[in-house]
Amino acid sequence: MIVVLLAVQFPIGWLMPDIQSGLPPGSLMTLHITIGLIILTLIIVRFTWRLFHPVAPANTLPLWQRVMSESVHWLLYGLVFATAMTGWFFVSFRGWRVSLFFESLLPMLTAPESAAGRLVGGWHQAAGFGLLAAIGVHVAAAFIHAFVFRDRIMERMLPRS
């Protein structure tokens, strides 16, 4: 679900109209915020699940590959979290009133126009590109395992009976 939502989220982020100063967010921006908050919720749930259901690195791999694999997976969690949180800071900096379920409003993380909101919200684009780079490394590693090493590491992603 997270992969599918991210595949939708990036194009929306790039295609949505530029922000007009003093105007509320448009419908594409509101959709982007909604999907982003769902991704944030899912990544926290997934991370919590993994804390209590850890998966040991494949012991057939050399140490450097185990370290790389652990690092990239931590990076992916961190960057999804950071990308979503910096977007939320951006919204807080703008002081936008975004409706959530049952007519409640998205809580603000900082006061409107605050220096902290501007600073952290300004990292959203960079965090998104960092996330894309980490996804690229992850996908490249998967292909290398499948087609170069042919070591059946990818089979670990399939459900076990």
Q: Which residues form the interface with ligand HEM (CB under 6 A)?
A: 6, 9-10, 13-14, 32-33, 36-37, 39-40, 80, 83-84, 87-88, 90-91, 124-125, 128, 131
In the bound state with ligand HEM, the residue whose beta carbon lies nearer, of 10 and 61, is: 10
The number of beta carbons lying within 10 Å of the beta carbon of residue 110 is 19
Which amino acid belongs to residue 61?
L
Q: What contacts 58, CB < 8 A, 6 or more positions away? A: 66, 69, 153, 156
CB of 58 to ligand HEM, least distance (A): 28
In the bound state with ligand HEM, the residue whose beta carbon lies nearer, of 124 and 145, is: 124
CA 66 to each of CA 51, 132, 149, 151: distance values in angstroms, whole numbers, following the listed order: 18, 22, 14, 14
In the bound state with ligand HEM, the residue whose beta carbon lies nearer, of 36 and 145, is: 36
* Class of residue 146 by CB neighbours under 10 A (exposed 0-12, middle 13-18, buried 19+): middle
In the bound state with ligand HEM, the residue whose beta carbon lies nearer, of 11 and 150, is: 11
CB of 3 to ligand HEM, least distance (A): 11
